[in-house]
Structures are given as C-alpha cells and as structure tokens.
C-alpha cells in the first residue's frame, strides 16, 4: 500500500453502482453549494465561503469520477483522489476555524455598530 506503483496505478474497474454512489455524493455536495443556508447579512461572507467549498468539491469530484470512468491514466490514479481528499479536509478545517474563531468576532462587531448607530442622527430628507 505504500509502494509507488499502488498510488500511481489505475484502480481496477469499478462497478457501475460504486460510480453511481460516488456521483450521487458529489452531486449532493454541489447542490449544497448552490443552496444558501443563511439569509441574514451578517452571515453572507460565511455563506459564500461554504457555498464555494461545496460547489468546488462537488464539481471537481464529478470531474474526477468522469476521468476515472474514461480511464485517463494519471487523473484516475489513487494519488489524485488522495490529494483531492486531503485538500478537501484541510479546506474544511480552515472553514470551521473561521466559523468558530472569526465569525463570532464579526457578529459582535456588527451588533456593537448597530447599537452605536441607533444614537446617531438620521439623514435629513431633501424636500
């Protein structure tokens, strides 16, 4: 499993049901990327980050599955899927770090500004 030939070799033909299940999973990821979960203006940046992650992951996964189905040598190797999975895990870790560390600070700053702006004079209308 640690040999170079294992990671660069093309896997044996997958059954159609395996490819169909993988296609469904990556398709669901792409659909999640298209859906927006939070409609509030405070969560717009977070929504964009997660939508980009899911859309990119889903579309690249479908693309890699199609390359495997066509049996293109390098792109259907196990190494490409391993790298793709590792990048996906690191990217998701960065997103959750943003969600846990940075997002509460941004929400708190927005709420402070909203309280502060309540005491500012309103703009005068031109008549």
Taking a C-beta distance cutoff of 8 angstroms, is the pair 51, 38 a contact? no
Question: What pLDDT, in 10s, does the model give residues 86-114?
Answer: 998 898 889 888 888 888 888 888 889 88
**Buried (b) or exposed (e) across 115-126, using 16+ Cβ within 10 A?**
eeeeeeeeeeee
pTM: 0.61
Kind and range of the H or E element at 95?
Answer: helix 78-97
Question: What pLDDT, in 10s, does the model give residues 10-29?
Answer: 666 655 566 677 777 777 77
How close are the terminal C-alpha atoms of the chain, in Å? 78
Q: Which residues contact 107 (CB under 8 A, 6 or more apart)?
A: 42
Name the token pair of 101: 């560390």
């Amino acid at each position: 499993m640690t040999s170079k030939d294992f990671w660069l070799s093309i896997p044996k033909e997958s059954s159609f049901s395996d490819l169909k299940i993988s296609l469904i999973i990556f398709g669901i990821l792409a659909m999640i990327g298209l859906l927006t979960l939070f409609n509030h203006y405070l969560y717009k940046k977070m929504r964009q980050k997660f939508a980009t992650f899911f859309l990119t992951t889903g579309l690249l996964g479908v693309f890699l599955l199609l390359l495997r189905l066509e049996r293109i040598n390098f792109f259907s190797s196990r190494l490409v899927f391993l790298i793709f999975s590792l990048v996906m895990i690191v990217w998701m870790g960065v997103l959750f770090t943003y969600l846990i560390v940075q997002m509460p600070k941004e929400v708190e700053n927005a709420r402070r500004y909203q309280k502060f702006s309540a005491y500012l004079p309103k703009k005068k209308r031109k008549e």
